[in-house]
Structure 1
Amino acid sequence: MQLTYLLIDFFTVIICFIFSFHPKINFHKHFRAFLLSSVLVAIVFVIWDSWFTKMGVWWFNDDYLVGIRFLGLPLEELLFFICIPFSCVFTYHCLTKFFPMDWDSLRDKVFVLGFVIISVFFAILFYDKIYTFITFLTLAVSMIVLRFVLNVQWIGKAFTIYLILLPGFLLVNGILTGSGLENPIVNYNPKDFIGFRIITIPIEDFFYGFELIIWNLFFYKKFKIDELEEAYLEE
């Protein structure tokens, strides 16, 4: 049982890792860009995660953990911020490589504006629920910064791919929150979130996950361009 969370991390990433070396995919050529982006984003999310754990917003069941902790977080939770983004960025790489998935600029802008309005609405409505409030507020700020400050025009496309990944999200987060287990691996304080769940997953997790992925994609794309420029200069 103590290997449960570690195995979830492993099986989340292993198939994507193997196919990264496929000659038609070649995602392995961008491992450095991914690692740089995932570590950079993970720093922020680990601080957030550690803060919430210390406050008792959520906590982890030791029965499913190997017992190694850093900043109050299990090793498995730290690996989560590498393994989940890897699978998502890999999927984004594959789907955008082989399928036309671009949104036009206006459609993307309208989508982001709508998403920001909804996020701000929920942040205000549930201002007394810290997980709900912080998640929706930071997501709104993230989307404003990415779309209107950094001029990112692929958020709608990223959301489409995120929807495609939802079955995997439901499986992984479902197990973490108790689906198929005697007790949840990750437990939530009822007073700190809305309480609406899809299967066993708090609705906030879906938006938390999307924020994690779009920042990983932003930095991955940036570091990937830097890699290509370096390769060009070396030639």
Structure 2
Amino acid sequence: MWQYTYLAINFFTIIICFIFSFHPKIKFYRHFKAFLLASIVTAIFFIAWDVWFTSNGVWWFNDKYLIGLRLFGLPIEELLFFICIPFSCVFTYFCLDKFFRLDWKPSVEKVFVIISIISCLILALIFKDKIYSFVTFLTTAISLIVLHFVLKANWIGKASFIYLVLMPGFLAVNGILTGTGLESPIVNYNPKDFIGFRILTIPIEDTVYGYEMILWNLFFFYKFKKNEQD
């Protein structure tokens, strides 16, 4: 039964959100195509990142918790992760944005983005010898620059707040993946490649990695959703 652990994590992450997608007051199912396109486009970059890190031993997977199917050197469960996690996050964002006014003032959002960029760049510089830390902080800074100043995304503050709301769920899912409640982690990290500061068993970099991934999912979701309406 242990070999279904990672698969079960993906399933239970998405199933409730999927069911409520058909609620008559939500109707998220109308945007399944937009979400799927967004998640695929975003996943291309993150899967390439994942493949490179896995092949270079930055992290690796415990076969005890996997069904054994692999593609590009990654467990099939890891590939599903890039659909299931974003689905739950984008669905939650969609619902909260639909029923609540969560928009930030442009000036406040700009200050937040600038502080976030500077913080990420400083951390990337400080931990430049830690490949996971360096790549995560640097690409997040670049993503924020591109999204806010080039692509003019005006929802980053709102998305950041909702990501914070989602943090308990993130900690629960990622906690299990990194070993909370298990004899050994599903995902293992090379100690020399990350800072070493953890929330429970979760490397702090994972929270930033997840944040960057969700921002890009939301950007492409907005883009493809608009095309649907057009």
TM range (shorter): over 0.9
Cα distance per residue 1:31-58 (max 9 Å; x no partner)? 0000000001001100000000000000
Secondary structure of the residue that 2:3 maps to in structure 1?
Answer: coil
In structure 1, the partner of 2:179 is 178
2:49 aligns with: 48
**1: CA distance between counterparts of 2:154 and 2:120?**
19
Structure 1 ranges of 4+ moved more than 2 A? none
**Please, which runs of 5 or more residues in structure 1 have no aligned partner?**
230-235
Q: State the partner residue of 2:6.
A: 5
Q: CA RMSD in A?
A: 0.3
Q: Report the alpha carbon displacement of residue 7 of structure 1 after superposing the two structures with TM.
A: 0.2
- 1:69 equivalenced with 2:70 (yes/no): yes
| Residues 50-77 of structure 1: per-residue CA shift (max 9 Å, x gap) | 0000000000000000000011100000
Instruction: Name the structure 2 match of 1:202.
Output: 203
In 1, distance between residues paired with 2:132 and 2:110?
A: 27
Instruction: Name the SS for the 1:3 alignment partner.
Output: helix
Partner of residue 16, structure 2: 15
2:157 aligns with 156
The residue identity in structure 2 corresponding to 1:103 is W
Q: Secondary structure at the match of 1:2?
A: helix
Paired amino acid for 1:70: L
d(CA) in 1 for partners of 2:108 and 2:120? 18
| Aligned length, in residue pairs | 229
1:217 partnered with 2:218: yes
Shift of 1:145: 0.2
- Amino acid paired to 1:184: P
The answer for the alignment partner of 1:37 in structure 2 is 38
Letter of the structure 2 residue corresponding to residue 5 of structure 1:
Y
- Residue 88 of structure 1 aligns with which residue? 89
In 2: Cα distance, 1:110 partner to 1:220 partner: 25
> TM-score, normalised on structure 1?
0.97
Q: Distance in 1 between matches of 2:27 and 2:105?
A: 27
Aligned partners of 1:42 and 1:168: how far apart in 2? 21
Give me the whole-angstrom Cα distance separating, in 2, the residues matched to 1:173 and 1:129.
21
Within 1, Cα distance between the matches of 2:45 and 2:186? 22
Letter in 2 for 1:155: I
Give, in angstroms, the shift of residue 81 of structure 1: 0.2
Match of 1:232 in 2: none
Match of 2:169 in 1: 168
What is the CA deviation profile of residues 168-216 of structure 1, one whole-angstrom value per residue up to 9, with x for unaligned ones? 0000000000000000000000000000000000000000000000000
How big is the shift at 1:156? 0.7
Is 1:111–2:112 an aligned residue pair? yes
What per-residue deviation string (whole Å, max 9, x for no partner) do you get for residues 95-130 of structure 1? Answer: 000011000111111100000000000000000000
Residues in 1 aligned to 2:108 and 2:158: alpha-carbon distance in whole angstroms:
10
Amino acid at match of 2:65: Y
Partner Cα distance (1:67, 1:109) in 2 = 45
Q: Cα deviations across residues 114-165 of structure 1 (Å, max 9, x unaligned)? A: 0000000000000000000000000000000000000111101100000000
Q: Structure 1 vs Structure 2: percent identity of aligned residues? A: 68
CA distance in 2 between partners of 1:98 and 1:77 (Å): 32
Distance in structure 1 (CA, Å) of the matches to 2:68 and 2:214: 27
Structure 1 Cα separation of the partners of residues 69 and 147 of structure 2: 35
